[in-house]
Structures are given as structure tokens and as C-alpha cells.
Structure 1
Amino acid sequence: MLRDYLIIGAGPAGLQLAALFEGEGRDYVVLERGEGPGTFFRTFPRHRQLISVNKVHTGYENPELRMRMDWNSLLSDDPKLLFTRYSDEYFPSADDLVRYLADFARETGARVEYETEIVRISRADNVFEVLDAAGKIRRARRIVVATGVSLPYVPDISGIELVEQYGEFDTTPASFTGQRVLVIGKGNSAFETADALMSKAAVIHVAGPHSLKMAWKTHFVGHLRAVNNNFLDSYQLKSQNAVIDGTVESIEKAAGGGFRVLLRYARTVEKLRELHYDRIIGCTGFRFDADPFDGSCRPALVINDRFPEQTSAYESVNVPGLYFAGTLTQQRDFKKSTSGFIHGFRYGARALHRVLGARYHGQAWPARRLDLTPEAIADALVRRVNTSSGLWQQFGHLGDAVTVTGDEVLYQEEVPLDLVADGGLGLAGHRFVVDLEYGQDRDHVDPFDVSVPRVRENDVENAMHSDYLHPVVRHYRDGVLDGTHHFAENLENEWDLPAVHRRPLAAFVKACLG
């Protein structure tokens, strides 16, 4: 049997795409190696507390606005399929997410074949063949890989095989009682681990060669989150713990037990420093598993071979018909936006669904018509930036497009910005594209430093210098950028004041249309 689609992986992304396919009656099946959905979250995070926000009480009645504060729900028209019904904890348990995903799969009718481990993927004559561990072969015109980053990323360090990996070590704090512990890595998994061991370990060092980046400063939720940074207090307040800025050069067993580690500091030019530890835990992140792909369809990899390289349509750059969904799509906005997380890639999966509909099923990107007046266009843009959860969550990555062709005005929602730039919506005499963005210097501005001058709230004249999240509208004439308009910042993120937001935007649109 030749199917239109095989989706590999029944995690959040695979289930999201399956639900969308199910609603359209697509020919597909999901292949999942685990006994149920959400295999990754049955193990990770190791200490079981998610760092994805679950804000139940928002004060909003609008379900779209509520999704701005709900980072775990998948997209559905069924109000029963909201994660907020499964937990009222702000940072919920991963076990609740596993339970939610099982219910989502069942209620949406997702066609999933569980306990199906893929061992080889090949391609010939524009058809993919997928072989599972039981010897069964499935064939499809297209494949969507939604497996996530399922393997640990192990850096090239001499002796790294001696390290206990994040996905396998005994997380029981008592097993570290009185020991000296080195945690390699400076991400959330590293600090989550260090935090959990502080009450029992004698000394904990967290080491990595790069500067520590705080999510509250960079606005990238994959950087160190406040919920995991208690360890920093214990370092700066002299409680036998430390963050080491440096590279682990080698690890070897010590004669008297434990490990001898050579470190090269990043801040100094001194010779290698020798330190001794009882335990070492590697928390260096994850990577994509490309091993099942044979030479006929092995996707090109980037970012230290951790992710498949993709076009603006989430398709492999070198294997036609091979698409990606979920956390793998963060290659397109790596450490900038939210494609690596459920609250981001749920919208990316919907965008992929629309891309596939346009390419293979004769369905144009959904659009609605507007009147050809500056006021009508401005009102539509203002309405969306004030209510959309997709633009809010996928800032700088998804945008709405208003295309003016002759007397026809079409409004299209949540299009990948790079897809627009690549001509994915076709050419147009006039096109306005709106998204939400932080200021260009967001990584360098301390939002809590009162000595740093900031643009005032609702300051129309200086809106282009805003550091915080705000809407930006760009006008393209025949595909070439012709003008940019920034909305003024607003404390409540409500950009609908007539004199501050609506009328300046309408004036911009009028000037662009001439």
C-alpha cells in the first residue's frame, strides 16, 4: 500500500499534525516506537518538572488569548483537549503531559501504530520505503519526521565515555551524599540536575565554555530559566558550589577512586587546571537521530550535526518530500524563537499542514477578503496582533500577510516569514507582513537596570527603538522591502489605542499604497 504520508513519532508534534490530517481526511499513519504517545516525556525531564508555563487563571475569556499563557496544549477545537484541565500547577509534572497526550491521541482519532521501531528509511523513484524492526515495509510519497532530538549530544572530550549521561544517571539525591560532583553543560538540564543535588552533594561544579545566558534577558525560553537557577545563589553566596567558565579537556579515572579532570578556563590564559570529582554527569543536550536514513535519502545536517537542515517550508534541503515537524524545526529559528517547544511548534505544525495542502492537495493558504481601504487593513492587523496566540508565541518566525492585487485584498494568517520572503505566497504588487518582535539589542539590555534609558510606553515617535515585544509591519512592493512601521510598546501588550496604534498604522498603509 502506497500512502501519501508517514509521520514518524507520536510525540506532541506528530499528534498535532495527525489531528490536522484527520480533520482533512488525509491518507496517513503515525509510526511510534514506544508503547504509547509522548515517549520522550516518559523519561525527560529527569526530575519530572516541566518548565513550560501552565497558567490556568489568565483573566481572559477569549480562548485564543488564553493560549498565549498555555504552553502545553495542542491545537484543537475541543475545549476538553486543553492541558489546563489536567493540572493547575504553573510548572506541571511531565507525567501529566504524558497522560494528556494519550487522551489527545484517542479523542482526535489519530491513526498511530505503536511499538514500531524504524530501522531503515530509503527512497527510490520518488517513493520512500520504511523498514521496521519486525521486518515490515511501509511505502509513502512523503515522510514527516517528528521524532524530536532523541539522542544525547556527546561532545568530543577525551574520556567522555566515563561520564554518566543525563538520560541514564540515578537521580536519587541520596546517592550523591557528601560527594564532589561535576555537571558538564550550562543549559536547563544541567542546572535542573545541580539544583536537585544541592541538599546532598558536598560540592557541585557546573562547567561549560560559553557564557551563561538567562532566558529573562534573551527572551529565548531554552536559555536558563529562573525556575532552575537557585544554584546561582549557592555559587555567588559561597555555598561550596561554582559555575566554571571553561572547557573540559580530558577525564580519566584517578588512582584513589573518582575522576581526574583537566579544565581550560575561558577567562584566563593560565595552564590547564586539574580538579577531582567523585561523580560526573553529562548534560550537554540532544541531537537528531539520522542513523535510520540510508544514502538514498540521508538529510543534510547542521549545527554540529544536531539538526536536519530545512527550507522555509520545513522540507529537507537535499531530500525532496522529506519534511520535519516539532522540535526539529528549531533549525529555522535556532535559539531565537520558540520552534523547539510545544507552544511554538504547534503553530509550525499547522503551517506545515497548510504548506502540504497547497503543494499536494490544491488548497491555497487560507485567506479572507478585506476592503481596499487603509482603515480596513489597519483594523485587521490591529485585531490580530491583539488576539493571536500564534504570532505571540512564534515571535519573529510566523507572521500574517495582507496581499493587495488590483482591487483584491487577501488576509493570510501565520505564514513562516522566510516562506513569504522565498515567494511561497507568490508575487504581489503590495504585501504587508506583520509579526511580533523584540528589539535588535535584546541580548544586551538588562530589563531590570533602571539606569538604562528605555522607550516610554505608547511613545509613537520612538517606537522603532523599542526593546520589548511589539508588532512590526513591513511593506513589500513587488517583493522588495519598501517600508517598516513599528507599533509603540504597551505595558499590557494591548496595541489598540486609536491615536497611538490605529491611526499611525492606517497612515503608513495609505502612504505605502500611494
Structure 2
Amino acid sequence: MAEKTDYEYIVVGAGPAGVQMAYYMEKYKMDYLVVERADGPGSFYRKYPRHRNLISINKKYNVFPEPEFNMRHDWNSLLCDEEDPLLFTDYSEDLFPNAGLLVKYIEDFCKKYKTNIRYNTNITNVHRDDKNDGNRSRSRFTLTDEKGNKFTCRVLMIGTGPILPHEPQIPGVELIDSYQDHSLDLEEYKNKKVCILGGGNSAFEVADHLAGSAGLIHMFNRHPVKFAWDTHFVGHLRAVNNNVLDMYHLKSLHALRKCEATRVWKTEDGKFSIEYNMHLPNWDPPGTGRFVTSGYDKIISCTGWKFINMGMFDETCKAETHTEGKYPILDEHWQSTVPDMYLIGTAMQARDRRAASGFIHGFRYNVRTLTNMLRSTYDGRELNREVFSPIDQDEICNWVVKHVSIVSALYQMGQGYLCDVMLVDKEGDAKTDKPTSGKIEYLRELPQAWVKKQDWFMDAKLAIIVTIEDTISKYPSLSATEFFTPGDANASNCKCSPFPQAVFRVYKNGEMAEELYIGGSLVVRADTRNFDGDTNPERYVNKVKNLFHRHTGIGKDGFYEQLFTPDMWPKVYRPWTQEEIAQQTKMEMDKLKKSSQYECSISILKPTVDVSDM
């Protein structure tokens, strides 16, 4: 019997995204194949990260019992709908485990759950046969591997992950080492002078590894370093990698320079020189300096990855890219500029620089969502939904508050990237025109940008979008952690809270009518007491009930929304006197003045760059 080579769906790459897609396609009995160039799944993690410690959190113990809630803090497990799922937290209790364990976990996942993966199949060319007759269903992709085998499909998904290094475009870059190939032998760096190009996690990972051996490390980055604790974006610099910054500020030789390398060359003594531009707003007059530093024993480029290999595709299906070819251009449901070609896995971050699409704990949900959307687009299946009928105010409001208290997808893919949608279809009394019942259709985990373009959403008389978001944008830019203080407990609409919280936005015929931030808590749950004196834990659901009644007329309103019941306020809260308010205001103003004082004689521009390392 001839081997099957034609499929409805083909996935290129059996990394965590490809394996996750295979799991769901197998579950829904879709016609698919995953092709992988290596001899097993998860091969990227056999080598990367180079220094072997993952930066994806592996937190097994989280107080609360719900498996869904615990997935919020398990950043490496794949999704599984079985009663006894295979979890990465059973492989290690280290907060940042060794990458080799992740390879073992993905291999075991493929053994435990049936998947249609063909290994040792290196795709070297992709061609799209467009019939040009307006019927996309007749167009097919043809994939050719290095042995000349051909495979065809209607829908193609690229899950090849970080496929190529994103090298700096400067003369001499071919002379230096890269993140992908630099030596890990610390003996080679003892008392050496090392320059690292880059300012992301890979650059700091290398610097951290070398910090105890290298005599001096200079890190060159043209952009300011962005810290995950400031931006709340998991892809920015993580604390686990930033020891070199600590040493820099404590005057221990290693240093970070905000500058742009423009040329590298090797000198006669075998060492390296590097030319670079540095903006100097404090100089008189302000300007840009061009400098050269010589004598480096090693220069290592750690400037990230490209997430699509354009050399794999012929002229019939070259997707458009952005950021110097680093990311593919994707639409609201991860389709590239080539029809029927989608990007999955870490490449999904091409649309997302606020949530977690670049990591397993984010794109596992994107992949699950995309599977359902593909079934709707190509197989004519309705999007998965739950129906509540007849509408009961207590039932739906209590259910949704419990749901947002434990759900992981909206939590990980926060800032409104993925959302749930409630479509409310009211029934009214013909005589009084008062709402009596009806139904609610609840759709889970859809890209919000995609939802807002759908006719069924735009035409809905009443729809509620549910997300989980933080409000860091409401706070002063880069405010220190100790100033990131709780919002007003008296506020019914908590638009300024330091913790992620559920947000309900009401839409009528596509126009937003109201938005409600229900308030956050330390554990990011709305179904439990925050502390022993929390006398009104029902305030979260009360806010939703009041919102629901305002827009449907179903049930009743007037539910109490404050943190403490009225009788408890005097027992737990003492307002400041006018003298105390004045004293606190003076303290804050003094701090602000101190932070803006510089030992600088130039007043042309407010100082923004530390040039003390020159």
C-alpha cells in the first residue's frame, strides 16, 4: 500500500507547538501530518538555551487545588484534556529546570498520546499551486524534503520556532562568535576581555555564565534594557539572568553600554576592535560620538532569532516579514500574508509583545484556539461554546467569576490578547417589553482583535468581552516596585490596580457601552477572601451582577460592591489627618526631587544617559 502523502493539514516542526497541534488535531480526528527534520520531538531544546537552564517558571506548589489554576504557574506543560494529564511539574521541582528534562517530557508526551509525526523529514522547499480561479479550496501546498519526497496539503502550518540567528548587519560580523556556537568552556574566558552584542535574555544569559571567569565584560545594546518586572512582558529581561547588571551598578568591572556597534575587525595581535556610536544628550552641545574600543579577546553576538526561514519557500509563497525579517506578518488569527499558511509556536509573538505568545505557556493556548478556528474556517464546524438557558443572573454571574478566578488561558494571554465572549440573547414579555429569559452563548479563548471583526459580534445587540489584564499603563512609567501600590478600595470600577484582574466590556452592535474592572488580589482570584478581615468577598460577583442587570434588566441590582461592609470600615481603616497627608506629600515630593538631581553642569537636556563607563 502506497504511503499517504496528501493531507488537509501539514505542520512543519515537532517542537512543543507542533506536538500541541498534533494532540488537538488527533483529538478532533482531523486529516493531518507533522513533519520534523530531527529524529525526535523537541530537538531545539537539546542544545538551547546554551547554558541549559530554562527561564520558564516551573512552580508546582500553588496553594490552590484546581489543575486549571495551577497551569498559570506551570510554564512548560502542554495542554491535555485527559483526566490524568502528563505534566512537566512531575519531572522536576526546580523553579528553572534543566532544558534536557523538557526534551524528555515532550518525548514522553508523544509516547503517551497518539500523534501522526514523521521524523527525519527535512523540508527544503515549499511551493503553492494557486489555481487563480477564486476557489481557494483547490489551491495546494507542495512540500519537498531533502530526499526528494513530496507532501501536499490544503492548509500549511509552520512551527519551526527560532530557526535562524538574527545577526547584526555590520561589517566584520562573520569574524566573531555567536550565541549559537560560542564556547561554553569557562577556561577560555579566564581573565579575558569580552564584548557581548545584545541586551535581551540570551545576551544576559551568556554574560551571567561568564561573569565569574571573564576579567571584564562589556555589553553593547542600542536600545535601553527592558525589564520584565517593569513591563510585565515575559520576553523582556528576567531577573534570573541579570547578575551582570547588579555587578555593573556595584562597580565590579562588568558594564552595560547603550550604543550601536557599527564595525568589527581583528588586529595583528589576534584581538578584536569594535567601532560604535553612542548618543550623548548630556554633552555640550548634545550629539552622537563615534568611538573605538580595542583589545577584546572575544566578541559574541547574542542579538536574537528569526522566526521564519524565507529560504524554505519559493516565489509562490514567500510571506511578508517585519523587524528586518525577524517576524512574519500575521493577521488576527495567525495567518501569514500567504493564504492558508499559518505560523504557530513562538512565531505567534509577531502579533503579541505584551502577553506570552513567545513561550510555551502562551502559545499552547494560541494553538488550541487556532485548532478550533481552523475547524470552523475549513471544516464548517461551529466554534466551541457553552449555552446558558434560560438566563439566570445568579448562575451566570457566579459561574463567570469562578471561571476567571481559575482560568489559565486568559491569565497567560492577558492584556486582552485572548478573550471570552458572552453573546446575550434576551427574550422579552410581549405586553410589558421587560426581559424575562433568553440564552447566553459563551465562547472561550478567541483573539480579541479577530472577534471585533466578525459579523456575529458586530451585529450582536448585546455582547460582553471578558479578559484578564493588569493596569501597569495607568501607573507612572517605570515606577519602582515599592511605589506600585493598591488602588482605591472604595472604587467600584478598579481601573488602577497593581494585580491582574478580570475586565468586562459591554458591546451593543459593536460599540462599547461600558467597561468594568472588577478588582485584583494577590492571588489573582475573585472567588476567595483576600485576608482574614475581608468581610465582603462577594463584591466581585456583586459588581458583575450589577453590570449584568444594568444592560439586560434580568435579575436585580443594588448589590454591595465595597471592600468592607459598612460596619467594618471604622474597625480596619483609619483615614489620615490633614497633617499626615501633608507630611506624606512632602516625603514623596522630596523623593521625586532627589531622583531628578544630577551632578551635571549642562542644562540643555535633562540627563538620560550614564556615560561614566567611557
The equivalent position to 1:367 in structure 2, one of 378, 385, 406, is 385
* Correspondence for 1:90: 95
* Correspondence for 2:60: 56
Q: 1:459 to 1:328 in 2, by over 3 A?
A: farther
* Correspondence for 1:245: 258
Distance 1:240 1:11 in 2: 40
Q: 1:190 to 1:262 in 2, by over 3 A?
A: same
* Correspondence for 2:580: none
351-360 or 268-277, larger mean C-alpha shift: 268-277
* Correspondence for 2:345: 326
Q: 1:433 to 1:270 in 2, by over 3 A?
A: closer
Distance 2:178 2:524 in 1: 42
Structure 2 gaps of 5+ residues are 132-138, 282-286, 427-437, 528-535, 554-614
The equivalent position to 1:507 in structure 2, one of 537, 546, 558, is 546
* Correspondence for 2:86: 81
Q: Percent identity?
A: 34
Amino acid of the residue matched to residue 94 of structure 1? A
Amino acid of the residue matched to residue 223 of structure 1? H
The equivalent position to 1:16 in structure 2, one of 16, 20, 25, is 20
Amino acid of the residue matched to residue 123 of structure 2? I
- The answer on 1:196 being equivalent to 2:209 is yes
- The answer on 1:106 being equivalent to 2:126 is no
* Correspondence for 1:347: 365
Task: Give the TM-score normalised by structure 1.
Answer: 0.96
The equivalent position to 1:436 in structure 2, one of 444, 460, 468, is 468
TM superposition shift of 1:442: 5.9
The equivalent position to 2:423 in structure 1, one of 399, 403, 407, is 403
Distance 1:443 1:359 in 2: 43
Amino acid of the residue matched to residue 395 of structure 1? G
* Correspondence for 1:455: 487
Residue pair 2:176, 2:299 contacting (<8 A) in 1 also:
yes
Residue pair 1:149, 1:289 contacting (<8 A) in 2 also:
no
Q: Deviations over 1:190-224 (max 9, x none)?
A: 11100111111110011101111111111111111
Amino acid of the residue matched to residue 472 of structure 1? V
Q: 1:45 to 1:424 in 2, by over 3 A?
A: farther
The equivalent position to 2:355 in structure 1, one of 337, 340, 361, is 337
* Correspondence for 2:127: 122
Distance 1:359 1:399 in 2: 19
Q: Deviations over 1:281-324 (max 9, x none)?
A: 000000021211111111111222211111112111x3211112
Distance 1:106 1:73 in 2: 15
Q: Secondary structure at the match of 2:196?
A: strand
Q: 1:442 to 1:131 in 2, by over 3 A?
A: farther
Q: 1:296 to 1:486 in 2, by over 3 A?
A: same
Distance 1:442 1:174 in 2: 46
TM superposition shift of 1:57: 1.5
Structure with the greater alpha carbon radius of gyration: 2
> Aligned residues, how many?
510
Distance 1:10 1:411 in 2: 32
* Correspondence for 1:480: 511
Residue pair 1:369, 1:411 contacting (<8 A) in 2 also:
yes
Amino acid of the residue matched to residue 413 of structure 2? Q
Distance 2:504 2:318 in 1: 39
Residue pair 1:217, 1:443 contacting (<8 A) in 2 also:
no
TM superposition shift of 1:270: 5.0
Residue pair 2:391, 2:439 contacting (<8 A) in 1 also:
yes
Q: Secondary structure at the match of 1:110?
A: coil
- The answer on 1:390 being equivalent to 2:409 is yes
The equivalent position to 2:166 in structure 1, one of 139, 145, 153, is 153
* Correspondence for 1:417: 448
Amino acid of the residue matched to residue 347 of structure 2? L
Q: Deviations over 1:76-135 (max 9, x none)?
A: 134351001111111001000001011111211111111111111011131000000000
TM superposition shift of 1:489: 2.2
* Correspondence for 2:570: none
Distance 1:136 1:216 in 2: 48
Distance 2:374 2:418 in 1: 17
